[in-house]
Structure formats: C-alpha cells, structure tokens
Amino acid sequence: MTGTARAATLVAPRRRRGVRLLFFQVAALSRSARERLATPERSEGVWLFLKCVLVALAGAAACNGAHDGREVVVGSKGFTESVILGEMVAALARGAGVRVEHRRQLGGTEVVFRALETGAVDVYPEYTGTLTREILRNEAAGRPLADVLAGHGLRMSQPLGFDNSYALAMTEARAAALGIRRISDLVAHPELRLVFSNEVMNRGDGWPGLRAHYGLPHEARGMDHDLAYRALASGGADVMDVYTTDAEIRAYALRVLTDDRQFFTRYDAVLLYRADLPARAPAVLAAIDRLQGRIDNPTMIALNARAKLDRVPESEVAAGFLAARVGGAVAAPREHVLASIARRAAEHSALVGLSLLAAIALAVPLGVVAARRPRIGRVVVGAAGLLQTIPSLALLVLLIPLLGIGSPPAVAALFLYGLLPIVRNTHAGLVGIPESLQISARALGLPARARLRLVELPLAMPFIVAGIKTSAVIAVGTATVGALVGAGGFGQPILTGIRLDDFGLILQGAVPAAVMAMGLEALLGAVERRVVPRGLRPPR
C-alpha cells in the first residue's frame, strides 16, 4: 500500500473519534462547571449556547486544516534543539512515505505533552529529566519511567545519544592551563570565580546541593546567562553553568566539566510517542529507531550552533545530518518568503475572522440580555471581564485537552477575549438610549422584538461597532500568541525570530500583523459608515 492510500484509510476513523471525544469533553466540562458554580436555572440556556458555540468553533477550525487530515503529526518545543529533532523525525517519516506535519515550536512542555496525550500530536522529542522531574514528578518516584508512560497511553524511544542536562563549564584555555577536567578538580582551586544563572543559584538541586555534594569551597555569584558567557570570554569569571548542548559551548570554546560524582539529573533525549503509533504508522516507528544512539553531545552542539549561530534553517540542519549519518530522509519542500507571508496572512485572517464573527454572534445577544436584565447584566459583564484577566498562554493550555492544538484552541481563546468589549459596548449603547425614545417606541405599538430591531439596536450601533473595532484590533495582536499552540499565523516568525535572536524574522511577523490591524480598522470604519446613519454621526 502506498503512503497516500494508507493515509486515506487511516484518517477517516481518527477524525470521527476526535470529534466524538470533543463532544464528550465539552459536555463533561460544562457539567462539572455547572455543578461547581451551582448556577441558577436561567443561565442554563447561556451555558448551552456557549457549549454549542465552542463545539461549532472547534468544528469549523478543524475543517480549517488543523491537526487532523495528516497521518502523523510531529511536535517540537519552542527552542532550537527541539525544532531540529522534530525536523529530523519529520524528514525520516517523509522518507518512509508517510504524510507528515511538523507542528514546530509549540509553547512549552505543558502544551506539547498535553497535545501528545490528547492525540493532537503523535511524537515529539523530550528529555528523561523533564519527564521525571517535571511532567510526571508526582507519579514517577520509584517506578520505571516506561510503566508510568504506559499509564498515559505513551511510549518512549531508546535515548538518542546525547544528554542535555545542567553542567559546569570553563573556557578551554583556562581549564587546560589549570588541568581541570572534572567538577571535583575545582576543589583544589578555591580562587576560581563561579557565576550561575539565578535559577541554579536558588534551587536546592542547583548550587547549594552541588556545593555540598562536592564540598566546593567557592562563593558563587548570580549572573544573567548571556552575560556569563561574555564574562568567561573576557576573563571576568572562570566557571559558569551551561546546558550541555548549548551552541555557545562551541562558539566560546568552552570545556564542559565531567559530573564525576553524578550530581546532576540526566536529561537524556528521547522521542516520546503515542502507544497507538506503531500500529498506525509502523514506518514512522522504524524511522525513529534509526535515530537511537546516533546523536552524541558534540554532534548536538554542532547542530545547535549551525542553526543558532550560523542561521541555517533547522530543516536544512536536520537534512544535512541525516544525509551524512543516517540516510533515507526526504526534506520538506522549501517555501518562498512571500509565499510564507501569504500563508501566514491566510492563517492569521482565519483565526481573527472566525473568532471575531463568533464573538459578535454571542456578545451582541449577551449585551442585549444584560441591558434588559440588570442583575444578569452585572454577572455577564463581570464574567466577560474575568475571562480577559486570564493570561493568554494559560487559557490556551486550559483549552488543549478540550480542543487539541492548532487553530481550534487559538480561535476559542480569541473568541473568549473578544467578548468583553462587544458585550460591554452593546450594553452601554442600549442602556444609554434616552427614555423619551424608549417610551416613544413603546407608545407607537411596537412589540419588544420589533423595538429592538427597528429602534434600539440601530441607536446602539455606533457603540456596538466601536466595541467590535476594539475586539478586532485586540484579536489581531493576540492571535500572534496562537503560534504557541501551533496555530500558525504571524506569531510563527515572531516566535522563531525571538528564539534565534533574528530581528528580520521578528519583523516578518510584526509588520504584517500591524498592517493587518490597521487594515481591519479601516475596513470596519467603512462598515461603520454604512451601518451608522448620518443622523447618529457627530455633526461635521
């Protein structure tokens, strides 16, 4: 069977399962929230409506080319090493004839791990130390890691070969001059000046533990990581903490000291994948196997340096390594800069457009209800305000179990953020209608719904449109955060640019986003001139 044919037979049942799961989860969430809050009967309808909107949004966004529709989805975290490894897995899977999508630089461990658990991602690179110390720290104690993972429906490959843990480093020249190779060698040199990043200075398993473990006589100082490299290079300090695969180790010609008494936890790189992957895509698993034990620390440092310091795209770094050492990889097709800007513009517009339309559809009726029933109004406006205070990354992470990764959680988050300005302005616009106009409308013999349609909403229109404008501009800006959960858009180059310290790349995202915000503002201004009659505009 060819890869494409297999993809076609495999994708259909998966998608159905995903949608069913989604419905179940949404229902469960709303049920538990209802029980927790013991909401009065009246808000039942609002909940139902919200539920429908979320499901509809997720459906729409999923059709919009989200996590389904590909046979295998590779994930990676938002730092260069993870992206390179993700590119390797993707290239090998592609070489095995499987349709692959690489959701690169997702916004952190929590995001990717949840995405893997929910099936939005099939495989991603992880570190054993992160699993035992961070993600699974409550269950990992005293049990084999593989067993704990099996409980989550996950498996782990053999180590890839390198260990990206904390370590101490010195310049090669100074270390050679003093004959220092191991951390225990430092004991004989109390005159050395040690500088550590703040997290290492303060954590129990950082400097205080290290000092006690080795009996080091030194006093250490806290220093920013980037400054510490420069301090070592200029001779202002002698020893610093590093990650053992930092590209800067090559750039600054540092010697990593051996942790001869095994103080630091090992952070062996592995590939984490779903337990159903071998059955679904055995070719991918075979490809993964070929990476095991192939990348040692010097190799990874060199690869990181190629991407980070030499500015070679991660896909090329990965392809170069695979061609030389592994073979059987197929590189992703390269995209022209303009084509990628156009694609991101399309993704960004879809995020903003979809969420804004949904926000209008819910917020205007909510504003009407709020204006009609002052007590409900206070609750609704308060709740919308509360949503606004949730940090965007936290909201996205909360939405992942519900909606997976990609555009659905991003659209849902933008939708929730878009509610407040529209609800508040609709409410204010309706409440502010002069009493004599409200009475006149009633005295004419117009029933409530007709009053709303013919008199009240048109009178509130300038306020409503102003609220929509505010929401739209907020959405264009906030949508850049969607890149953290793999939603694409202009946030993607911004994230990459920040990661690689590449100002040009940041501008490739920031400038079009600003242009889009201004364009949308102008577009809505034109809409405003159409829907707000001359009689309501301020006199010229």
Partner 1 sequence: MELRLAGVTKRYGAGVAVDGIDLTFASGRTTALLGPSGCGKSTVLRLLLALATPEAGEISVDGRPLPAHDIEALRRRIGYVIQDGGLFPHLTAAENVTLMARYLRWDPTRAAKRLQELATLTRFPADALARYPNELSGGQAQRVAIMRALLLDPEVLLLDEPLSALDPLVRTELRDDLRGIFRSFGKTVIVVTHDVGEAAHLADVVVLMRAGRVVQQGPFATLAAAPADAFVTAFLATGNGTRVPEPRG
Question: Whole-angstrom Cα distance, residue 211 to residue 241?
Answer: 13
Residue with Cβ nearer partner 1 (373 or 537): 537
Sign of the four-CA dihedral 144, 148, 154, 159: negative
Closest distance to partner 1 from the beta carbon of 530 (Å): 13
Any contact of residue 540 with partner 1 (CB under 8 A)?
no
Name the segment binding partner 1 (CB under 8 A); options: 112-120, 310-318, 392-400, 440-448: 440-448
Any contact of residue 539 with partner 1 (CB under 8 A)?
yes
| Residue 226: half-sphere exposure toward Cβ, Cα within 13 Å | 1
Alpha-carbon distance values, 1 to 7, 90, 97, 99, 283 (Å): 10, 20, 10, 13, 12
Say which residue the tokens 């590209």 belong to: 247
Any contact of residue 454 with partner 1 (CB under 8 A)?
yes
Residue with Cβ nearer partner 1 (215 or 533): 533
CA dihedral angle for residue 382, residue 385, residue 387, residue 390, rounded to 10 degrees:
-130
Any contact of residue 445 with partner 1 (CB under 8 A)?
yes
Any contact of residue 428 with partner 1 (CB under 8 A)?
no
Residue with Cβ nearer partner 1 (60 or 461): 461
CA dihedral angle for residue 119, residue 122, residue 126, residue 128, rounded to 10 degrees:
80
Closest distance to partner 1 from the beta carbon of 427 (Å): 19
| Residue 465: half-sphere exposure toward Cβ, Cα within 13 Å | 22
Any contact of residue 533 with partner 1 (CB under 8 A)?
yes
In the shown chain, the binding pattern of residues 222 to 261 toward partner 1, with x for contact by CB under 8 A and - for none, equals ----------------------------------------
Strands (DSSP E) contained in 174-245 are 194-196, 220-222, 239-243
Render the burial of 254-263: b for 16+ CB within 10 Å, e for the rest. bbbbebeeeb
Residue with Cβ nearer partner 1 (391 or 445): 445
Alpha-carbon distance values, 311 to 134, 197, 216, 505 (Å): 31, 26, 39, 11
Closest distance to partner 1 from the beta carbon of 366 (Å): 22
In the window 455-494, what residues touch partner 1 (CB under 8 A)? Answer: 455, 458-459, 461
Any contact of residue 283 with partner 1 (CB under 8 A)?
no
How many residues contact partner 1, by CB under 8 A? Answer: 22
What element of type H or E holds 166?
strand 166-171
Closest distance to partner 1 from the beta carbon of 42 (Å): 24
Residue with Cβ nearer partner 1 (143 or 442): 442
Task: Name which position in 37, 253, 439, 523 contacts partner 1 (CB under 8 A).
Answer: 439
The 3-state secondary structure of 42-108 reads CHHHHHHHHHHHHHHHHHHHHHCCCCCCCCEEEEEECCHHHHHHHHHHHHHHHHCCCCEEEEEEECC
Residue with Cβ nearer partner 1 (187 or 531): 531
Residue with Cβ nearer partner 1 (265 or 438): 438
Any contact of residue 447 with partner 1 (CB under 8 A)?
yes
Closest distance to partner 1 from the beta carbon of 442 (Å): 6
Contact 489, 351 (CB under 8 A): yes
Closest distance to partner 1 from the beta carbon of 536 (Å): 5
Contact 423, 381 (CB under 8 A): yes
Any contact of residue 527 with partner 1 (CB under 8 A)?
no
**What is the bridge-based pairing of β-strands 194-196 and 239-243?**
parallel
Question: Whole-angstrom Cα distance, residue 49 to residue 38?
Answer: 18
Q: Which residues contact 104 (CB under 8 A, 6 or more apart)?
A: 75, 76, 83, 86, 87, 314, 486
**What is the bridge-based pairing of β-strands 100-106 and 72-77?**
parallel
Task: Name which position in 28, 342, 444, 515 contacts partner 1 (CB under 8 A).
Answer: 444
Q: How many CB atoms lie within 10 A of CB 433?
A: 15
Task: Name which position in 142, 436, 530, 540 contacts partner 1 (CB under 8 A).
Answer: 436
Closest distance to partner 1 from the beta carbon of 451 (Å): 10
**Helices (DSSP H) in 432-502: which residue ranges?**
435-443, 448-451, 457-478, 491-500
Question: Whole-angstrom Cα distance, residue 507 to residue 436?
Answer: 53
Closest distance to partner 1 from the beta carbon of 509 (Å): 41
Task: Name which position in 323, 450, 511, 518 contacts partner 1 (CB under 8 A).
Answer: 450
| C-alpha closest to that of 129 among 170, 179, 165, 80 | 165
3-state secondary structure of 193: coil
Any contact of residue 443 with partner 1 (CB under 8 A)?
yes
Closest distance to partner 1 from the beta carbon of 432 (Å): 12
Closest distance to partner 1 from the beta carbon of 376 (Å): 23
Name the segment binding partner 1 (CB under 8 A); options: 42-50, 129-137, 329-337, 439-447: 439-447
Closest distance to partner 1 from the beta carbon of 531 (Å): 10
| Residue 240: half-sphere exposure toward Cβ, Cα within 13 Å | 27
Any contact of residue 449 with partner 1 (CB under 8 A)?
no
Task: Name which position in 12, 63, 511, 536 contacts partner 1 (CB under 8 A).
Answer: 536
Residue with Cβ nearer partner 1 (339 or 448): 448
Residue with Cβ nearer partner 1 (394 or 531): 531
Task: Name which position in 13, 144, 333, 535 contacts partner 1 (CB under 8 A).
Answer: 535
Q: Report DSSP state, residue 265.
A: P
Alpha-carbon distance values, 410 to 117, 220, 483, 515 (Å): 18, 43, 8, 21
Name the segment binding partner 1 (CB under 8 A); options: 301-309, 356-364, 436-444, 502-510: 436-444
Question: Whole-angstrom Cα distance, residue 462 to residue 116?
Answer: 46
Closest distance to partner 1 from the beta carbon of 521 (Å): 23
Task: Name which position in 20, 42, 442, 529 contacts partner 1 (CB under 8 A).
Answer: 442
Residues of this chain that interact with partner 1 (CB under 8 A) are 436-437, 439-447, 450, 454-455, 458-459, 461, 533-536, 539
